[in-house]
Structure 1
């Protein structure tokens, strides 16, 4: 049986979860349709999801279509939970991207499609809600071609759009886009001899290569067009590429807690076979864990199995230290982050009766599920901050802490999450047993600026054999940890840290006595001396602070641009292009992340409620005016 790991992606409220429910009903997995409004869907299982009517966490269900077993992953549509989508993209064989026939191509849809095209993930488009008033066909296809991709193949037409009688009529539309990628097809067309079989073969091949994107229309509410979509999923998307006989290699894309508090890891296995009682290394530290239970997804649910083979998604128990994003077995090539990092930060304010230990445990649990919330503890001020994509995410964290853990917290106003980059070169060194150095270790470090986006690189100018490797590793790990807070309190990045000096006291003890760590260097000595040396080097190099900047696009009635443009300027936005087409004006430019929320709040009033905006992280800009923001935190000591 062929396997297909399928993602359902969309802008919030496009009907993604409703479509998932309709798919499960159409193939016989569920007898009754669940409802987002009633909180009865199979994939929105969290109480918070059901109450808000939005997907917050990805969920996996399965169904079979003839000889294809589909693992379907429903993902969040709200941009504040884009990190959840990112974790899923790395385990998918194909995607259905849902677009609303009423609202059209929305902001998040564009961001998702750009990413899917960049990663070359085979994608079908499903235009939902053709039964709703205001549903469009020709206009919607034009919008998809203009705002998403011109490489589309309509798979049929729609009759009676905007009514409950709306139906999808199958039939491959204009196929000239297929000829653009197939010389034989182009030649056959020129000779007037293109057969249906050749046309369908080209469609399958090019869809699986992510060269073209078939477009289906339908309604999750009425079921119109869903059988044709199911056929498209079965015939057009590629099966999982897997080698069950190879070395074990997989990726963890979700972690949750079981009834007894045990960790449950959701993993896609790309290679090999993993069985119960097998030991498997995972994570950066390559810690070994023993698998104690396995469930795979089939027949609409997760079913216990003795082993999981490559190509499948499984729930694994027994890996106590596992985290989201960990590689299982042999690591695959890292594709990096698909979406931008969080650009906001907020400080938690515990309620008067909130237990600090319980809060710390709860936040740790949340960080297991979403590492990008970036917990940061300031022991001196007894404060904890979290990273955010937006204000809705803040509300969800607050509600989760209240409902799942019984903890009362509020938040301070969100602020931009800045970074620091070295402005020059600086070096420092501390020698073993000299100048009051309390650590039995010699460490010298030099900090140099590096190209934008390069991150942090650790190098050595000393011989690797000059001291035990564990001591070098202790220095390297501590360098990365220390750079989490620079001279102004922000994470330091885009730099090279080079180890220029090293030295240690060899293992010594008195005669007939056990090892004496007061006479011999340990890893703790190198972990202790590295931070002050690095901070000294960083101070001599100096740092600049950079704030996150988003790229925005606003569409609004053309006659409102006169009021909109000055308001954008007042928010620190920099309009780069302004275009008017018909009665619609479009403004594109950049705006500081700190002012983005205010822009979104003011837009309806400036545009009579008709303005639409989309934004995404673009770059970090150096702060050259006003007070450079300082981030409170532990005191830097040298």
Structure 2
């Protein structure tokens, strides 16, 4: 185990009152215990009426049972303990959220999600200037993300993911099959470095000028060569004699053919 891992509850249990009419009192008691020991993370699931606690091990169940009886006068049993898992992502993805009802405002957000090293937790950053989304609203976005990540698609807390609130430019990079390599932002400007294929970005300077209203600055340079899809679009007819045609190639090399090797 890593240092500090013992402070993380390993099991989840259902707390079941012996008398159904004491469900509310049992929930209030568990909430009190959870406020005293936040690791218990008491939860009341309204859709099922279940009361859940997170514990370190089965020995703690007996301690809780005795505490509920002696301190609160409540008799309870526990469902079978279940291991607490975590969710994460395997590959980079784009998240999109839109609220278009203008009561009182509307918003469209896009996030870039990337896998992070195991045990690193969740990190969040924004590359959207303060003039596009005011800082107080960006802070609300960050708070909402924390709540959203408390339960993923499989029902568990999401961990080990890097989340970036992106703007239009990063979306363009992704559409050009590019890769963002570095970002930095303050309240006025955003600086972004990316690698994009030349084939899909030749016309982008014009589009960039339109998106930024002529206020953006774009510079490009050859970075190197990468693999590309193997299709006829990326091939070029050979010039000269094909060296696989050995006889003709030798004749051409000896200037016995009018056609040159290259």
TM bin (shorter chain)? 0.5 to 0.7
**Residue among 157, 162, 166 paired with 1:496:** 162
Secondary structure of 1:446 counterpart? strand
Shift of 1:488: 1.0
Residue 440 of structure 1 pairs with residue 106 of structure 2: yes
Q: Does residue 419 of structure 1 match 2:86?
A: yes
Match of 1:463, SS state, is coil
CA distance 1:349–1:440, shift in 2 (3 Å): same
The yes-or-no answer on 1:403 pairing with 2:70 is yes
Change (3 A) 1:465 1:359: farther
Q: CA deviation at 1:431?
A: 3.9
Q: Deviations over 1:74-115 (max 9, x none)?
A: xxxxxxxxxxxxxxxxxxxxxxxxxxxxxxxxxxxxx9xx97
Query: Which of 446, 460, 476 pairs up with 2:126?
Result: 460
Q: Partners in 2 of 1:389 and 1:488 — Cα distance?
A: 22
**TM-score of the superposed pair, with normalisation by structure 1:** 0.25
Paired residues for 1:381-392 under 5 Å: 381-392=48-59
Pair 1:368 & 2:45 matched? no
- Structure 2 counterpart of 1:349: 16
2:140 — aligned with what?
A: 474
Structure 1 CA distance, aligned partners of 2:99 and 2:45?
30
- Deviations along 1:506-558, one digit per CA (max 9) or x if unpaired, are xxxxxxxxxxxxxxxxxxxxxxxxxxxxxxxxxxxxxxxxxxxxxxxxxxxxx
User: Could you tell me whether the CA contact under 8 Å between 1:442 and 1:501 is conserved in 2?
Assistant: no
Q: What's the CA shift for 1:489?
A: 0.6
CA shift at 1:376, angstroms?
2.7
| Larger radius of gyration between Structure 1 and Structure 2 | 2
Once residues 118 and 5 of structure 2 are traced to their aligned partners in structure 1, the CA distance between those partners, rounded to angstroms, is 17
User: Cα distance, 1:404 vs. partner?
Assistant: 0.8
Tell whether 2:97 aligns with 1:430.
Answer: yes
Q: 2 CA distance for matches of 1:484 and 1:432?
A: 21
SS in 1 for 2:70: helix
Which residue of structure 1 aligns with residue 207 of structure 2? Answer: none
Secondary structure (helix, strand or coil) at the match of 2:25 reads helix
3-state DSSP class of the match of 1:442? Answer: strand
The correspondence of residues 136-535 of structure 1 with structure 2, limited to 5 A, is 337=4, 339-433=6-100, 440-501=106-167
Larger RCO (CA under 8 A, 6+ residues apart): 2
Would the aligned equivalents of 1:456 and 1:480 in 2 still touch at CA under 8 Å? no
SS in 1 for 2:88: strand
Instruction: String of CA shifts for 1:585-637, please: whole Å, max 9, x gaps.
Output: xxxxxxxxxxxxxxxxxxxxxxxxxxxxxxxxxxxxxxxxxxxxxxxxxxxxx
CA distance in 2, matches of 1:501, 1:442: 10
Counterpart secondary structure, 1:342: coil
Q: Distance in 1 between matches of 2:120 and 2:40?
A: 22
Name the CA shift for 1:424/1:385 in 2 (closer, same or farther; >3 Å): same
Q: CA deviation at 1:402?
A: 1.6
Deviation at 1:346, TM superposition (A): 0.9
The ranges of structure 1 where at least 4 consecutive aligned residues each deviate by more than 3 angstroms after the TM superposition are 337-340, 436-439
Q: CA RMSD in A?
A: 2.8
Q: Write 1 or 2 for the structure with the bigger share of strand.
A: 1
**d(CA) in 1 for partners of 2:22, 2:63:** 20
User: Shift in Å at residue 438 of structure 1?
Assistant: 9.7
> What is the alpha-carbon distance in structure 2 between the residues aligned to residue 430 and residue 484 of structure 1?
17
* Distance of 2:64 and 2:158 partners within structure 1: 27
Structure 1 distance, partners of 2:69, 2:128, is 52
Contact 2:100 2:106 (8 Å CA) reproduced: yes
SS of alignment partner, residue 162 of structure 2: strand
Cα distance 1:489–1:353, how it changes in 2: closer, same or farther (>3 A)? Answer: closer
Structure 2 gap ranges (5+): 169-262
Q: Is the 8 A contact 1:432 1:441 kept in 2?
A: yes
